[in-house]
Amino acid sequence: MGAMGLSVLYAPLLCLCLGACIGWVLALTGAGGGALSIPILVFGLHLSVQQAAPVGLAAIFVASLAGTVLGLRQRLVGYRAAAFMGAIGMLAAPFGMILANNLPNRPLLVVFACVLCGIALRTMQRAVPRAPMVGDAPCVVNPLDQRLTFNRPCVCVLAGTGLLSGLLSGLLGVGGGFVTVPALSAYTHLTVHSIHATSLAIMMLISLSGVVSAVWHHTMVWDIALPFAGGAALAMLAGKRVVDKMDAARLKHAFAWLCVGVALLMLLRAAGLFAG
């Protein structure tokens, strides 16, 4: 096989493996893993943030779709909350994407590094075992059907979370799970498994909006997006089968420090000190 043949084979295989990293992290952490898709594409394939964002959203969509199907089969998805928050996020995502396309690359790298540091902090906090939440919360679970009661405070919290997730999704090419999981944990009495499944459903809807917008504006790099998304989906399905057998606290700590390391690399790249 000639050099050209090796190059044609190597590129899709590399994209597949890099996408698998995202799907694996999503399966193990439940949130925040999609945020690593942009650094992986920036450093691994030398894309700009603007080029990487649609590809990352495609991978998040396919992987979160697979996770959502599993969650629905296990009856863990709060589908009313997911539909409400996802719909608002879908409306907001194109505005974030328009903003991203009108900003230079370096400021986006700095913003993304800050987001990764925030994810690392939240992940560290979630790694510490806590007693089940008691007391009042804006979103109360009905004990009869285990559904959230949509009163005014609950609607405001869910709407604000969906709006922020959608804007960040379009701006940075992330799924928004690092926003939805802490919000659902803080403002509802849903179980941990239900929160993760609901968050994946929200991410699936929001990332779909970004993917459609990217396709409409012809900014999707399909040669990279297809194998990258395929790898993410396969790793998500495989990861879900082994996640319960692994030490969750250690995984979260490792993921948090990985986010910090990647954030530092992105700051160095923004400063022109690291080409990647």
For residue 34, tell me if it sits in a domain. Answer: yes
Q: Determine the pLDDT at residue 77.
A: 85
**141 contacts 149 by C-beta, under 8 angstroms:** yes
Picking from 159, 162, 156, 251, the residue whose alpha carbon sits closest to that of residue 203 is 162
Q: Determine the pLDDT at residue 87.
A: 93
For residue 275, tell me if it sits in a domain. Answer: no
137 sits in the region (left: phi over 0; alpha: psi -120 to 50; else beta) called beta
**197 contacts 76 by C-beta, under 8 angstroms:** yes
Better-scored residue on pLDDT, 119 or 248: 119
Better-scored residue on pLDDT, 158 or 177: 158
Cβ of 36: how many Cβ atoms within 10 Å?
A: 23
CA distances to 114, 120, 211, 239 from 261, in Å: 12, 10, 28, 23
For residue 181, tell me if it sits in a domain. Answer: yes
**24 contacts 239 by C-beta, under 8 angstroms:** yes
pLDDT at 16 over 80: yes
* 20-49: pLDDT as tens digits: 887 877 776 655 566 777 788 877 888 877
pTM for the model stands at 0.77
Is the Cα dihedral 163, 103, 114, 246 positive or negative?
Answer: positive
For residue 276, tell me if it sits in a domain. Answer: no
Q: Determine the pLDDT at residue 146.
A: 60
For residue 9, tell me if it sits in a domain. Answer: no
Residue 2 — very low, low, confident or very high, per pLDDT cuts 50/70/90? very low
**192 contacts 151 by C-beta, under 8 angstroms:** no
pLDDT at 93 over 80: yes
Cα(first)–Cα(last) distance of the chain, in Å? 29
Least confident of 41-55, 126-140, 218-232: 126-140
Number of domains observed in the structure of the chain = 1
| Phi and psi, residue 245, nearest 5° | -95, 0
135 sits in the region (left: phi over 0; alpha: psi -120 to 50; else beta) called left
For residue 8, tell me if it sits in a domain. Answer: no
Question: How long a stretch of residues is the chain?
Answer: 276
State mean pLDDT over 102-120: 76
Print the SS3 string covering the chain: CCHHHHHHHHHHHHHHHHHHHHHHHHHHHCCCHHHHHHHHHHHHCCCCHHHHHHHHHHHHHHHHHHHHHHHHHCCCCCHHHHHHHHHHHHHHHHHHHHHHHCCCHHHHHHHHHHHHHHHHHHHHHHHCCCCCCCCCCCEEECCCCCCEECCHHHHHHHHHHHHHHHHHHHHHCCCCHHHHHHHHHHHECCCHHHHHHHHHHHHHHHHHHHHHHHHHCCCCCHHHHHHHHHHHHHHHHHHHHHHHHCCHHHHHHHHHHHHHHHHHHHHHHHCCCCCC
For residue 38, tell me if it sits in a domain. Answer: yes
**233 contacts 62 by C-beta, under 8 angstroms:** yes
Q: Determine the pLDDT at residue 145.
A: 60
Q: Hey, what are 4's tokens?
A: 């050209």
Q: What is the span of the domain harbouring residue 156? A: 14-270
Residues facing 139 on adjacent strands: 188
Least confident of 8-12, 89-93, 230-234, 263-267: 8-12
For residue 193, tell me if it sits in a domain. Answer: yes
